[in-house]
Amino acid sequence: MKRRAFLLTPLSAYAQQFPPTGIGWPKKPAAEMGFDPKKLQAALAFAMNNESTWNFARDQERTFGKPLGPLPESRAATNVMVIRDGYLVAEFGDTLRPDPVYSVAKSFVSTMAGLAFDRKMIKDLHEFVGKSMRDGGYDSPQNSGITWHHHLQQTSEWEGEMWGKKHDFVGHDAFGAGERKQRALEKPGTHYEYNDVRINRFSLSLLKLWNEPLPSVLKRLVMDPIGASSNWTWHGYSNSTVEIAGKKATSVPGGTRWGGGLWISSRDLARFGLLFLNKGNWEGKQLLSENWIQQAITPGVLMPNYGYLWWLGAMGKRSFSANGAGSNIVAISPEHRMVVVWRWFRGQPGEFFKMLTDSLTG
């Protein structure tokens, strides 16, 4: 069964306003950008009043189990950025502080695969990963049938252990409240499971494919070209160092479930979201192909609201988002020509997004 692709608005339909390198961002009044100012302020007030209670010291190990990587002592308060047509329409809170973004990092891992696909380092997403990964991780009968596509959709059913955490999530010490019951493994591609151990295996495979640490690839090919700050970091674990091309390199996780992960500001996340709103094009330079982005946000057969490590539908039809615990989200809506970043919120973001879209007048 094939995935049904989203039909996206042509790139030429989007306004091509981009923020300059640095912390500045071009602004326009809400009314000029098609918002009812009073309704927009009501939406922002709602966001301000729904802050997460997440506390690293109190909640991290209880929720996820024993950490393997660093964690900050504190975090910023809830904060929001609303971008339309590339202009900053509304903002509150500390949007410059680089905080862990948890599983939003999975969409960055997806982007590392997209960059490899665009360069034909991955020639066919349905090719077995074991064809190029000769490290034993795909030798078993269970793992030999895993493709890049399976990893990207979280349907790999990879079996094994990564950095001291087993694929099955069995055991309270290792997995905290997220522990699971033992179950029989399915054939790769036939069962969806949100699973950070498997994402960490995928990340290691991409590291070996690139022969270069993923943070270096991200900086060189994405973050520097979009004018991001220099204060974002992508941390690994204390035990996730491997040897690549004769040098030590850290394999980074696709989240902060066990510490580490991507620590980044809302400002830099908004730039990343704007790149995707503009189908991989930044000021006339195609950093990611439109073909890749189309594939990344095509609904999966087993999980129709999930693409290639992107969630689908957060802000209405054809929208997509990078979501993380805490809670953190970068939502992109081509229909509304918007990017919205909301960090450290309580509950689900749906009501806030509805208030935002309802505030649009044109």
| Residues 132-152: tens digit of each pLDDT | 999 999 999 999 999 999 999
Confidence category of residue 12, pLDDT binned at 50, 70, 90: very low
Determine the average pLDDT of the residues in 111-127: 98
DSSP letter, residue 211: T
pLDDT at 244: 93
> Above pLDDT 90, what percent of the chain?
94
* Residue 267 confidence (pLDDT) above 80: yes
Domains of the chain: residue spans and CATH: 11-55+73-92+266-358 (no CATH), 106-250 (3.40.710.10)
pTM above 0.85, yes or no: yes
* Residue 117 confidence (pLDDT) above 60: yes
* Residue 29 confidence (pLDDT) above 80: yes
User: Within 10 A of 211 (CB to CB), how many other CB atoms are there?
Assistant: 12
pLDDT at 4: 58
- Extract the tokens encoding 28: 């326009």
* 8 A C-beta contact, residue 157 and residue 185: yes
Q: How far is CA 317 from CA 14, 134, 357, in A?
A: 17, 41, 12
pLDDT at 11: 43
Confidence category of residue 155, pLDDT binned at 50, 70, 90: very high
Determine the average pLDDT of the residues in 326-335: 97
Confidence category of residue 202, pLDDT binned at 50, 70, 90: very high
DSSP letter, residue 11: G
pLDDT in tens, 221-263: 999 999 999 999 999 999 999 999 899 999 999 999 999 999 9
pLDDT at 95: 98
Shortest CA distance to 48 belongs to which of 345, 350, 259?
Answer: 345
Residue 6 burial (CB < 10 Å; 0-12/13-18/19+)? middle
pLDDT at 225: 98
Give one DSSP letter per residue of 239-297, joined into a string: T-EEEETTEEEEPPPSSSBTB-EEEE-HHHHHHHHHHHHTTTEETTEESS-HHHHHHHT
* 8 A C-beta contact, residue 163 and residue 182: no
Q: What are the beta bridge partners of residue 161?
A: 166
Angle at CA 174, nearest 5°, toward 191 and 168? Answer: 20
Q: Name the E strands within the chain.
A: 79-84, 87-92, 99-100, 161-162, 165-166, 233-235, 241-244, 247-250, 261-264, 281-282, 285-286, 311-312, 320-324, 328-333, 338-343
Residue that has been written with the tokens 């394999």 in this structure? 251
pLDDT at 146: 98
pLDDT at 245: 86
